[in-house]
Structure 1
Amino acid sequence: MLTPSTTLCPSARAEEGALLLGVVAPDQSVKMLTEPEPLTAELAEAIAEIDAPEQQFRFANRCVKSGCNQWHDGRCGVIDLVMSFNQHLAEPVTLPACAIRSQCRWHKQNGPKACTLCPFIITDSSQTEQERLVYIDSPAYAPGA
């Protein structure tokens, strides 16, 4: 069960217990909902019928830390990779709307700059966890490379 103190992964899979956070717009940015919608068994089942739901919607769920293949050196590798390509960004003056900011792993880890990049990150769960791990670990994509 998710509680107000639960740290949330803002790039989770579409599964029962997750939260629907937003919808991917035609411009490929995520438009966040005002309030997250809990994925009941019925809603999760309906969304599972959609091809690659994580590429069409944004979901959040408990950050499982080392239980996730994206977890490296005590940090989320997804946001660290994106941040490594966007080091030039200035500290944002305003932040995009977000219903989970106070619980968000990416915000806790990288602060407001993560919020600026968040709407442009699309989850690709069509690959296996191992394939995504190889992509993240590839020297060409390593943070700081």
Structure 2
Amino acid sequence: MDKEQTWCPSGDAGAPEAVVLGVRSGENGRLVYLADPVPASAVLDRVPEGVEPGRVMRFASHCVSECKHRRGNDCTLVERISAVPGNPEQERVPRCHLRGRCTWWAQTGAEGCRRCPVISTRNTEDDELAALVADPDVTVEQVERWIENHRR
């Protein structure tokens, strides 16, 4: 793994440097982190045909300047993710081989790490909040407003 480059924990599985960050497990689909990085190229051909790799694994790859979630040096995706209230299950910071190079960790510290296990790199149309958070055109304020309007 490149020690100088910052990495995205919601990266592109097809990027040449991509690694598997973890595997989705159990009924709730939470991420179980791998102890050591595994090149995505070594496992992508093992995913059964018709199964989207992002359904069963999370990938990390280099942060790139052309990313739709990038604003200057900041990741707007982790800003929107952090705007969503956490739950008691998310109090512990998971062990992660990416942390020292992770953009989310550098930008938000433990807050982004606590949310990371429940983040999916694919949207489900039946989850309006997840779709809002994933949309690079949506602001943190819009996410917060949606949450406030739906708590009533």
When residues 134 and 7 of structure 1 are mapped into structure 2, their CA distance, relative to the original with a 3 A threshold, is closer
Q: Does 1:9 align with 2:8?
A: yes
SS of corresponding position for 1:61: strand
Q: Which runs of 5+ in 1 are unaligned?
A: none
TM (norm. structure 1) is 0.76
Q: Which residue of 1 aligns with 2:24?
A: 24
Give runs of aligned pairs for residues 76-87 of structure 1, distance below 5 A.
76-86=75-85
Q: Distance in 2 between matches of 1:126 and 1:76?
A: 22
Query: What secondary structure is seen at the aligned counterpart in 2 of 1:60?
Result: strand
For residues 143 and 132 of structure 1, the distance between their equivalents in structure 2, rounded to whole angstroms, comes to 7
Deviation at 1:109, TM superposition (A): 0.7
- Residue 69 (structure 1) aligns with: 68
* TM, length-normalised to structure 2: 0.73
Aligned to 1:142: 142
Bigger shift: 134-143 or 8-17? 134-143
User: Are residue 33 (structure 1) and residue 31 (structure 2) matched?
Assistant: no
How many residues were matched structurally? 136
The reply to whether residue 109 of structure 1 matches residue 107 of structure 2 is yes
Per-residue CA deviations over 1:58-79 (Å, capped at 9, x if unaligned) read 10010003x1111135421211
Identity of aligned residues (%): 25
Q: What does residue 120 of structure 2 align with?
A: 122
Q: 1:56 — aligned with what?
A: 56
Give the drift of 1:133.
9.2
1:137 partner SS: coil
Q: Which has the higher contact order (CA 8 A, sep 6+)?
A: 1
Q: Distance in 2 between matches of 1:79 and 1:139?
A: 11
CA distance in 2, matches of 1:73, 1:144: 22
Aligned-residue CA RMSD (Å): 3.2
Q: Given residue 30 of structure 1, which amino acid in structure 2 is its aligned partner?
A: L
